[in-house]
Structure 1
Amino acid sequence: MNDLSLWLIFLLLGLATTLPRASFIVLGNKVALPSRLQRALRYAPAAALAAIVIPDLLVVSGSVTPLNPKLAAGFAAVWVAARWRNPWLPFLIGMAVLWALQAMIKA
């Protein structure tokens, strides 16, 4: 592969990531998305967060482990977040559960 091909690939990848994002800014309200797509896009942030967090909760030492301290701490944090609207409490309870379970496993 020569240098020109490499630069062409960089340019095309840059356009492929920039154009879809810029289209919402450039087009603005001139083009309306279908209502079904707008409803589906409301779930995109939650889906992206789940795609980042769930593998970290399930994978321990390179293999999927459904019963592990991280997953239990994640469930505790979600339960606390659903029960109380305090933004710090899920973090505190989740970390407390994680540390307690890790200490019990080591003992």
Structure 2
Amino acid sequence: MSDLEIWITIGALVIATAITRSSFWVIGQHVTIPTRVNEMLRYAPSCALAAIVGPDLLMNPGSLAIDVVNPKLVAGLASIGWYLFRRNMLETIVFGMLLFTALRLLHLF
């Protein structure tokens, strides 16, 4: 790609981003979101997080790793158990990261 093509691409992406982000301010008051859609949008952040974290727990580079020698999966499952026991998200994150770090550094798997 030439320098001109790169700058045209960057400019097009800037314009596309500005249009999509500003559209909520421009037409936000004129469009009402149905109640059912609004309720479904409540779950969008947790679905996006699961879509990011899930493959990282279940995959090694290039292969599926659903076994007890996968330290990420072991730490993730233990974190779920910790959350069900304590019901505290901050403790769950700290517990999961400490367990994963310990498993990785101690070479238990």
Q: Same fold (TM over 0.5)?
A: yes
- How big is the shift at 1:99? 4.3
| Separation in 1, partners of 2:102, 2:95 | 10
CA apart distance, 1:73? 0.8
Conserved 8 A contact 1:73-1:94: yes
Q: For residues 25 and 86 of structure 2, what CA distance do their matches in structure 1 show?
A: 37
For structure 2, the residue ranges without an aligned partner over 5 or more in a row are none
Partner of 1:48: 48
Per the TM alignment, residue 93 of structure 1 is displaced from its structure 2 partner at its CA by 2.6
Q: Aligned match of 2:77 in 62, 75, 78? A: 75
1:31 aligned to 2:31?
A: yes
Quote the Cα distance in structure 1 between the aligned partners of 2:12 and 2:35: 31
Q: In the alignment, residue 91 of structure 2 is paired with which amino acid?
A: L
Measured after TM superposition, the shift of residue 89 of structure 1 is 2.0
1:49-83 CA distance string (max 9 Å, x none) = 11221122112243221121111211221232233
Query: Take 1:3 and 1:36, find their aligned partners in 2: how far apart are those partners?
Result: 47
Give 5+ residue unaligned stretches, structure 1.
none
Q: Given the two structures, how large is their TM-score scaled by the length of structure 2?
A: 0.71
Aligned equivalent of 2:96, options 94, 97, 106: 94
Identity %: 43
Q: Give the aligned length.
A: 105
* Distance of aligned partners of 1:18 and 1:84 in 2 relative to their CA distance in 1, 3 Å threshold: farther
CA RMSD of aligned residues (A): 2.5
* Partner residue in 2 for 1:58: 58
